[in-house]
Amino acid sequence: MSETVQLREVGPRDGLQMTATILSTEQKLEWCRREVAAGLVDIEVTSFVSPKLAPQFADAADVARRAILIEGCRPAALVPNLKGAQLALEAGLTSLYFVMSASEAHNRANVRRTTEESLDEFRRIIEHRDTMPGKKAWIGSGIATAFGCTIQGEVPERRVVEIAARLAEAGADGINVADTVGYGDPAQVRRLVKAVMDEVAPLPVACHFHDTRGLGLANILAAVDVGVRSFDASLAGIGGCPFAPSASGNVDTEGTAFLLERLGLDTGIDLEALMALRQEVERWLPGEQFARGVGVAGLPRR
ω into 204 cis (within 30 of 0): no
| 243: CATH | 3.20.20.70
Does any domain span residue 23? yes
Does any domain span residue 302? no
Does any domain span residue 31? yes
How does pLDDT run across 165-211, given as a tens digit for each residue? 999 999 999 999 999 999 999 999 999 999 999 999 999 999 999 99
Residues of the chain with pLDDT under 50: none
Q: Please classify residue 199 by burial: count the beta carbons closer than 10 Å to its beta carbon, then call 0-12 exposed, 13-18 middle and 19+ buried.
A: middle
Does any domain span residue 1? no
| Number of residues assigned to the chain | 302
Q: Please classify residue 130 by burial: count the beta carbons closer than 10 Å to its beta carbon, then call 0-12 exposed, 13-18 middle and 19+ buried.
A: exposed
**Catalytic position from the list 32, 73, 149, 241:** 241
| pLDDT value of residue 240 | 75
Does any domain span residue 63? yes
Cβ 248 vs Cβ 213: under 8 Å: no
Does any domain span residue 265? yes
The strand ranges marked E within the chain are 6-9, 42-47, 74-79, 95-101, 138-144, 175-179, 205-209, 230-233
Does any domain span residue 54? yes
| pLDDT value of residue 2 | 84
**Does the annotation count 149 as an active-site position?**
no
- In the chain, what percentage of residues exceed pLDDT 70? 97
How does pLDDT run across 112-130, given as a tens digit for each residue? 999 999 999 999 999 999 9
Does any domain span residue 256? yes
Domain count, the chain: 1
Domain that holds residue 45: 6-297
